[in-house]
Structure 1
């Protein structure tokens, strides 16, 4: 296996605050973005959390890709988001697709600050 895992902590997001609470809207955006960048969506699950008063309080969502996944978690009370994009490169190099997707999702949340990490995963099969 060989892959690329992109991880971001986004702070002081300047997107519309309701976007951090809208599981359906966030799901549509993430699925569409994955498809725009040439990745193959095979499943999805987005869940809205609620506070003690029953009001929406954040979203956790995952888009399962044939190439691996996108995961997002929102904390509207602190205008923050965590984001993971992981792609395997088993049958072809999907790194540029993952990077473009990652950049688009970050841009949509419009954070004032961010911490991003790129991790190479796995190793190439041994040469025979």
Structure 2
């Protein structure tokens, strides 16, 4: 069953509030995540809300990576979507979760653009949860 793209929807909790509130840091993490995930960056935009929170997107040749943060809750909503076969979106997701120091992640992988016999398209969803234990709130154990 071939798919046009992979879409990762991630609920990240227990994240470092200082990182989640820093638009420049989030931009840096996302641009590096694109490299780690073998994606070609085309553009990016990140916005810092007042008093808190960041929303941002990196447009890549393969599609996009986006985030919305709630530092006061230690929560981030991540979205990584790639088309084609060269990118590795799961590596990008893992990199982001590590750098925002997430303690927990609920991940849904959606295989998108699965062509049906009648030339329509559908998708399949696989979901899992991960407890990302870190020593001293810093490193994965």
Structure 2 unaligned runs (5+)?
Answer: 118-141
Q: Partner of 1:110 in structure 2?
A: 101
Structure 2 residue matching 1:110: 3-state secondary structure: coil
Deviation readout 1:51-105 (Å, 9 max, x if unpaired): 3xxxxx000010000000000111001010010100011xxx135x111111111
Q: Is 2:80 the partner of 1:85?
A: yes
Partner of 1:5: 7
What is aligned with 2:41?
Answer: 41
RMSD: 1.8
* 1:32 aligned residue: 32
Task: Flag structure 1 segments of 5+ consecutive residues without an equivalent.
Answer: 52-56
Q: TM-score, normalised by structure 1?
A: 0.82
What's the offset of the Cα at 1:32? 1.9
Higher helix share: 1
Query: How far does residue 125 in structure 1 lie from its aligned partner after superposition?
Result: 9.3
> How far apart are residue 124 of structure 1 and its match?
4.9
Q: Report what 2:66 is aligned to.
A: 71
The alignment covers a number of residue pairs equal to 115
TM-score (norm 2): 0.75
2:111 maps to 120
Q: How far apart are 1:111 and its partner, in Å?
A: 2.1
Aligned equivalent of 2:18: 18
Q: Which has the higher contact order (CA 8 A, sep 6+)?
A: 1
